[in-house]
Amino acid sequence: MSDLLKDHGIGFILAHAKYLKAISYAKVKTDKVDTETLAQLLRLNLIPAAHQIPADKRGMRDMMRARLRLVHKKTSCLNSIHRLLKNSTSRFPTTARCMNRRP
């Protein structure tokens, strides 16, 4: 969305959601109240800006996130196999070497 706005010359501020406490601590949470709060903070120049990753680096970031998910899945699967082997028999691989064999 930010790329589209930039291409059309529309200025915008990407607010950092974690540091935008005025909205997160509000008692009333509706779109109308949130937009009024954001407009007031924008007028006072109190919106904490979030970092935007350049368009040419987003592909690498997405690939690294996907890789991290796959590594987590692999570790989870290996742990499950190890747990199953341990519970089903008294003989199971005890070293990491046998679990990380490559074809």
50: DSSP letter: P
How far is Cα 58 from Cα 52, in angstroms, rounded to an integer?
10
Q: Which residues of 81-93 are buried (b: 16+ CB within 10 A; e: fewer)?
A: ebeeeeeeeeeee
Residue 20, H or E segment: none
- 22 or 33, which is more confident: 33
In the DSSP assignment, the letter for residue 15 is B
The residue to which tokens 């003989």 are assigned: 91
Q: What is the per-residue pLDDT for 46?
A: 87
Global confidence as pTM: 0.53
Taking the CB of residue 48, how many other CB atoms lie within 10 A of it?
14
Q: Highest mean pLDDT: which of 5-9, 49-53, 69-73?
A: 69-73
In sequence order, the β-bridge partners of residue 15 are: 49
